[in-house]
Amino acid sequence: MPTVPSDIFAAERRRMKSMSRTVSSALVLATLLAMPMREAVGANLTGAFDAVPSGMTMDNGMSFSGAGYSISRGFNSDTVTLTAPQAIITWTASTGAQGANGGSGTIDIMPSGGTATFQGSSEFTVLNRLMPGADMTRGVSLNGHVVSQVNGASGGNVWFYSPGGILIGSSANFDVGGMLLTAADISPSGIDLDGNGDVVGIHTGVAAAGTTVQVDSGASINTSDYFGILAPRIVQSGTVNADGSVAYIAASQVDLASETDLFSISIPTGMGTDVADALTHSGTTRAHVDGTGNAGISHAIYAVAVPKNTAITMLLGGTMEFQVANGAQITNQGIVLSAGRNT
């Protein structure tokens, strides 16, 4: 005789409970899939740069490693530790950064509020190649805080290159040793080293026609050594305080050498700029000369624009000046303006 269950609805309740769990699991999965990419991958894209350093091995969700350097990634921060005198890091803008603003215009590759720290136990030069992704003609913007240190004090050289140009936004604040912003690429073979392995010269590639490096009003750039911009078009509306020489070079290709505290600048034939308003300066550029460690120092501020095919203009306003401290005796300091010849 068949047994009658004590609860004739038990099987149905078990089936419904199982269905509820299945539906709940599906809803959770759908919610996770719908989350923005930056949230979904967690720490991998929450650094100072909204970009992924390519050509590296990811050790875990918070760090990357490469030859001669490592990157520790935190919330809105990237700490790059250099263990070699020179390094090249290629950062590719995240899909989220590329897709913002309808996938057009300048890519905010370093949003405001982030801090990137470059550090080492000895002097270093690091070239950061900022790649916009699918459309290589798009410019990138840096809007956060960049710091470089050697043994805890200002030092090291931080360079930024992007093929579509660079915008230093109004919220940007840089405190570094030496700095170079360029729209012309620099390959390892284009870097000259001295006997100690220090960089003493560069030979750039050819920048795309019309590319711009621009420093917006409100941006602050402070260097304990040199500062330079290389691009077919330069707009400097921010504040630059340098403890070394400063060079604004409007051209498509540049050969640049360091001679003590000064620069030797050469533009290869036919590699000038075809932008009419090649160099505009409306901000402040100030070169500091401190005689504490060296009584005779040579510093200069260079504004160079070499025409390629048509006439060009340099509009130099704002402030360009030298600030002398501690009784320094200045030799060969000055502001060098050049249009159509090398310096």
Q: What are residue 325's phi and psi, to 5 degrees?
A: -135, 160
Q: What is the mean pLDDT of residues 286-308?
A: 72
How wide is the angle at C-alpha 341 spanned by C-alphas 201 and 324, nearest 5°? 65
Distance from C-alpha of 247 to C-alpha of 302, rounded to nearest angstrom = 5
- Tell me which amino acid residue 108 is: D
- Tell me which amino acid residue 27 is: L
The per-residue pLDDT for 157 is 96
- Look-up of token digits 């390892």: 188
Would you say the C-alpha torsion 71, 73, 78, 79 has a positive or negative sign? negative
For 266-293, give one letter per residue: b (16+ CB within 10 A) or e.
Answer: bbbeebbbebeebbbbebbbbbbbeeee
List beta partners, residue 329. Answer: 296
Q: Which strands, in side-by-side order, build the sheet including 313-316? A: 107-110, 140-142, 166-168, 212-215, 233-236, 277-281, 313-316
Q: Residue 214's pLDDT band (boundaries 50, 70, 90)?
A: very high
Select from 259, 250, 130 the least CA-distant residue to 192: 259
- Over residues 36-62, the pLDDT tens digits come to 333 333 334 478 999 988 765 555 557
Q: Say what percent of the chain tops pLDDT 90.
A: 55
- Those residues with Cβ within 8 angstroms of residue 105's Cβ, 6 or more apart along the chain or in another chain: 138
Length of the chain measured in residues: 343
More confident residue, 277 or 53: 277
Lowest pLDDT segment from 40-44, 174-178, 335-339:
40-44
List beta partners, residue 30. Answer: none
Structure tokens at 89: 């890091």
- Over residues 226-255, the pLDDT tens digits come to 999 999 999 999 999 999 889 999 999 999
CB 148 within 8 A of CB 156: yes
Structure tokens at 327: 């009784």
- Those residues with Cβ within 8 angstroms of residue 37's Cβ, 6 or more apart along the chain or in another chain: 45, 94, 95, 96
Q: What is the mean pLDDT of residues 60-67?
A: 74
Residue 4 has pLDDT above 50, yes or no: no
For 95-126, give one letter per residue: b (16+ CB within 10 A) or e.
Answer: eebbebeeeeebbbbbbbebbbbbbbeebbbb
Residue 21 has pLDDT above 60, yes or no: no
The per-residue pLDDT for 282 is 97
**DSSP label of 113:** T
Pairing assessment for the beta strands 140-142 and 329-330 based on DSSP bridges: unpaired
Q: What are residue 101's phi and psi, to 5 degrees?
A: 55, 40
Residue 26 has pLDDT above 70, yes or no: no
